[in-house]
Amino acid sequence: MKAISSKRVSDCCCGNRKSASGSADQKQPRRPRWLGLLATVVTFALGVTVAAAQQPTQIPRIATLSVNPVSLTEERLETLRHGLREHGYVEGKNIAIDSRAVEGKLDRLPAIAVELVRLKVNVLVSLGPAPTRALKAATTTIPIVMTNDPDPVADGIVASLAHPGGNITGLSTLAPELSGKRLELLKEVVPKLSRVAVLGTSTIPGYGQVSKEVELAAKALKLELEHLDILQSKDVETAFRTATKVRADAVLTLNSGIISSVRHRIAELAAKNRLPVMYHSEGFVEAGGLMFYGVNRLDLDRRAAAYIDKILKGRKPADLPVEQPVKFEFIVNLKAAKQIGLTVPPNVLVRADKVIR
């Protein structure tokens, strides 16, 4: 057999290797185009997901509306914040709160209410009956939580306490029923009481119903009433002059943002004219007034937070029953009593929840 040279073997092998290599390159399948597209889509999706994760989560936003200046409602607002914290909401962290007030100027309520609606907040909170009506007129879609209203059913705010319907729910103050009790206490403190000057604002919601209740209570107690309309803050001066002129033995105030906005002045006029006054709000006693009996409004403000929480979690106002007050207070200011030369009977003092000495 003839030997084959190493060179030929090498050449042959190299040639075969080259041929094999070339053949392999030609037969290797190309990557399908759809795999490339899939990779692009996945990369894009991952990018969107990461970008979304980096975006700050939008926190719920609520807005409050009050007749009184914010300075006079700060305690109520802080109580609302406290109630929200009980439900896990911390202002500036996972909830935002905008507070607006009209400084006792009722004619500004409609415009401010519309302004708040344009902010597209999650929940609107009314700190009184007049703000509730302004917000009701401004929107039928944004949920409204009322912190207090004398008679929301009679005033057409809700269909019923159990089934409010619409976009409003919250808490009622039962103000009409309380007026009679206030007159009773006033008569106990002023035994010779026969004529009472009643300070109210006829243009605010619920005034008619409260006035009727006061009249019924006065009739049962054999008292005469002198209704004095406070349409502007300056009217309180005239009212006290009239009260003195008609020889009123005492004064009763009805719920009114205008009256509340001048609480210090009213306390001063009461002392100056030596007239005992039963007030509709505890703030008057803290400002130097004589007595207050009624709903613990701060408790209502705290409880309003529960409504806000439920609404933010998806509940509809129409399905959340309106609740009534469970806490009442009787406060007596003995300093004010001394100023007008009045002695508060011991049997009345022992029933007071708080006595300012």
Q: Is residue 80 helix, strand or coil? A: helix
| 106 vs 67: CA distance, rounded Å | 7
**Confidence (pTM):** 0.74
CA distance 48 to 52: 6
- State how far the alpha carbon of 125 is from the alpha carbons of 142, 143, 162, 290, in Å: 10, 9, 20, 31
Give per-10-residue mean pLDDT for the chain (357 aa).
42 43 48 58 52 61 91 90 98 96 90 96 95 96 95 90 97 81 94 96 85 92 96 95 97 90 94 97 93 94 98 97 94 97 96 95
Tell me which amino acid residue 121 is: V
Place of tokens 């006061």: 214
Query: Is 175-296+327-356 a domain of CATH 3.90.1150.10?
Result: no
Token match 């415009």: residue? 111
Q: Which sequence spans correspond to the domains of the chain?
A: 61-173+298-319, 175-296+327-356
Q: Which two tokens stand for residue 190?
A: 């002023």
Angle at 257 between CA 274 and CA 306, to 5 degrees: 125
DSSP-derived secondary structure for 284-338: HHHTT-SEEEEE-HHHHHHHHHHHHHHHHTT--GGGSPPB----EEEEEEHHHHH
Please tell me the class of the 61-173+298-319 domain: alpha beta
The confidence score (pLDDT) of residue 318 equals: 97
Task: Transcribe 209-247 into DSSP letters.
Answer: HHHHHHHHHHHHTT-EEEEEE-SSTTHHHHHHHHHHHTT
Strand duo 123-126 + 291-295: pairing? unpaired
CA distance 263 to 67: 14
Q: What is the C-alpha separation between 285 and 274, in angstroms, rounded?
A: 15
**How many Cβ atoms sit within 10 Å of the Cβ of residue 333?**
25
Characterize the bridge pairing of strands 291-295 and 328-333: antiparallel
Residues in the chain: 357
Report the pLDDT value the prediction gives residue 204, as an integer from 0 to 100.
83
Burial 300-316 (b: 16+ CB within 10 A, else e): bbbbbbbbbbbbbeeee
Q: Do domains 61-173+298-319 and 175-296+327-356 have the same CATH topology?
A: yes
Report pLDDT for 263.
92
> What is each CA distance from 248 to 46, 123, 242, 259, 343, in whole angstroms?
79, 45, 9, 19, 18
